Amino acid sequence: MILRELIADSIAGIRTHWPRVLLTSSGIVWGVALFVALTAAGQAMAKHYRAKMEAVGPKVIYVFAGSVARAGEGARTARPVHLDLKDPPRLPGSPTVERAEPELRAGLRVVKGGGHIKVVWTFGVGPDAEAIRNFKVARGRFISRSEVSARAQVLVIGAKVEERLFGRRSAVGETVRLDGYPFRVIGVSAPKGEQMVNMGPRDDEQVLMPISTAQRLFTLNDRIDYVIYEPRTREQAAQSMARVRVLLGRHHSFTPADDEALAFFNVGDIIAMMDSMSIALNLFLAACGLVTLAIGAIGVMNIMLVAVAERTREIGLRKALGATDRVLFLQLMCETLVITLAAGGIGDLLGGMLIRAMQIMRDSSARAQFLMPEVVFSGRVAIFSTLVLVAAGTLAALVPAIRAVRIDPALALHEE
């Protein structure tokens, strides 16, 4: 009963001085809205860009052949290092390497199928490339080790290649001609869309075949362009690269000190850089949140200080009529709670509207979907921001509330 009366009196006081409350609390509302929207955007951005980075392979490391200078001679006489099919099987023997495969660029080739003729990018790969390169198959299956051994004329094609050749029809099981050679399509990849890291064309636009088939029909030699492998953990990447230098150096006559013999591209380095940027962004957003809450607390304090100053006569009269300090203190604190809860709720609603606006902008085009993350309203963040605002506002209201209960009713009535 007492609580109901306190809330009713607080609402009546707010309604009486609604212009002041509205102007002062508008800053609180906007601050909460920005905090909710920016926090959601920051979390979504970190997740979005990490997923785009990992699309090429969550732990993939590319190993490219270089050259080794002869002792006492210049770079002009350096001999090239040639990687071959025997190199990848040597790497998983290391405790830091989980799996490895050779890869070969078979180049741009003409493919005919589904009544269309297109030019596509072709690659020769091994069976573990599916896991290493995150090349997920949506329909059908990936290339098997037996098909590599048999030099089978089979293909796994990207989602975009299937669309360009067969439209809405499935390509799995169909026979196509690649530079005149018949190939059977055994799998179609799940679409990845735009990628932030590519080693050539997008995965959706690639055609993969057994590496032995690519060598037999197109490159006509046993060389490979590079090795792809996965360290057992991302933290072991540097250790694994040092070990790869040792293992391949034994078979290609170079030492680990020959830096130019091999070149590495580690997607984990880019992801680590992105993680650092995400941490910095989250710290920035946390600082913005603290500033927002501090401004909100100052706004609440200003509201209550002005309220006490404007209602000095009212407070003095109520005390003269028998109102206790406890009742007056509780009423002012209750008024603070009502203002902060209302401002927090409206701020959460406005923040949700800002997030919805960002989502509409993202859905406007494929390019926007690539650049902008999918921001989702977080009820947890909204509740947290409102509760922290209420706590900060309550603490800020203690000073004006204590000042109110110390008002001398005689002096207050005399001044008024």
Give a yes or no: residue 258 inside a domain: no
What three-state secondary structure class fits 197?
coil
If asked whether residues 319 and 350 sit together in one domain, one would say yes
Percentage of the chain beyond pLDDT 90 is 31
Q: Answer yes or no: is pLDDT of 166 > 60.
A: yes
If asked whether residues 243 and 295 sit together in one domain, one would say no
Give a yes or no: residue 266 inside a domain: no
How many domains does one find in the chain?
2
Per-residue model confidence as pLDDT tens digits over 358-391: 888 888 877 777 777 788 888 888 888 788 777 7
Q: Answer yes or no: is pLDDT of 328 > 50.
A: yes
Please state the rounded mean pLDDT for residues 319-343. 72
Write down the pLDDT at residue 337.
78
Please state the rounded mean pLDDT for residues 207-211. 96
If asked whether residues 118 and 219 sit together in one domain, one would say yes
Q: Tokens for 301?
A: 């304090």
Q: What is the DSSP string of 119-139?
A: EEEEEEE-TTHHHHTT--EEE
Please state the rounded mean pLDDT for residues 220-225. 87
Q: Answer yes or no: is pLDDT of 1 > 50.
A: no
Write down the pLDDT at residue 145.
93
Between helix 325-362 and helix 312-320 the angle, nearest 10°, is: 140
Q: Which of 179-183, 233-237, 355-359, 383-387 has the highest mean pLDDT?
A: 179-183
Burial class (CB in 10 A: 0-12, 13-18, 19+), 15: exposed
If asked whether residues 246 and 97 sit together in one domain, one would say yes
Instruction: Choose between 75 and 45: higher pLDDT.
Output: 45
Q: Answer yes or no: is pLDDT of 8 > 70.
A: no
Please state the rounded mean pLDDT for residues 325-339. 73
Among candidate residues 223, 253, 283, the one where a domain is terminated: 253
SS (H, E, C) 25-45: HHHHHHHHHHHHHHHHHHHHH
If asked whether residues 132 and 24 sit together in one domain, one would say no
Q: Tokens for 92?
A: 């998983």
299-328 burial code (b ≥16 CB/10 A, e <16):
bbbebbbebbeebbeebbebbeeebeeebb
- Element (DSSP H or E) covering residue 52: helix 18-54
Give a yes or no: residue 289 inside a domain: yes
Which of 15-24, 162-171, 192-201, 373-382 bottoms out in mean pLDDT, i.e. has the lowest?
15-24
Give a yes or no: residue 350 inside a domain: yes
If asked whether residues 90 and 234 sit together in one domain, one would say yes
Instruction: Choose between 291 and 61: higher pLDDT.
Output: 61
Per-residue model confidence as pLDDT tens digits over 298-307: 776 676 666 6
Dihedral of alpha carbons 406, 409, 410, 414, sign: positive
Give a yes or no: residue 197 inside a domain: yes
Which of 189-193, 209-213, 270-274, 408-412 bottoms out in mean pLDDT, i.e. has the lowest?
408-412
If asked whether residues 242 and 302 sit together in one domain, one would say no
If asked whether residues 308 and 192 sit together in one domain, one would say no
If asked whether residues 127 and 209 sit together in one domain, one would say yes
Q: Answer yes or no: is pLDDT of 76 > 80.
A: no
Write down the pLDDT at residue 305.
67
If asked whether residues 351 and 225 sit together in one domain, one would say no
Please state the rounded mean pLDDT for residues 7-24. 60
Please state the rounded mean pLDDT for residues 147-153. 94
- Neighbour tally for 231: CB within 10 Å: 24
Q: Answer yes or no: is pLDDT of 20 > 50.
A: yes
Give a yes or no: residue 63 inside a domain: no
Percentage of the chain beyond pLDDT 70 is 79
Burial class (CB in 10 A: 0-12, 13-18, 19+), 253: exposed
pLDDT band at 288 (very low <50, low <70, confident <90, very high): confident
Instruction: Choose between 52 and 95: higher pLDDT.
Output: 95
Give a yes or no: residue 59 inside a domain: no
Q: What is the DSSP string of 335-379?
A: HHHHHHHHHHHHHHHHHHHHHHHHHHHHTT-HHHHHHS------H
Give a yes or no: residue 354 inside a domain: yes
Which of 47-61, 89-103, 299-313, 323-337 bottoms out in mean pLDDT, i.e. has the lowest?
299-313
The residue assigned the tokens 């990628």 is 195
Provide the mean pLDDT of the chain.
Answer: 81
If asked whether residues 46 and 116 sit together in one domain, one would say no
Write down the pLDDT at residue 101.
94
Q: Answer yes or no: is pLDDT of 321 > 70.
A: no
Write down the pLDDT at residue 132.
92
- Residue 221's domain spans which residues? 82-253
Among candidate residues 220, 253, 286, the one where a domain is terminated: 253
Q: Answer yes or no: is pLDDT of 270 > 90.
A: no
Rounded distance between C-alpha atoms, residue 390 and residue 230, angstroms: 50
Write down the pLDDT at residue 162.
94
If asked whether residues 197 and 229 sit together in one domain, one would say yes
Among candidate residues 253, 288, 317, the one where a domain is terminated: 253
Q: Answer yes or no: is pLDDT of 114 > 70.
A: yes
The pTM of the whole model exceeds 0.85: no
pLDDT band at 128 (very low <50, low <70, confident <90, very high): very high
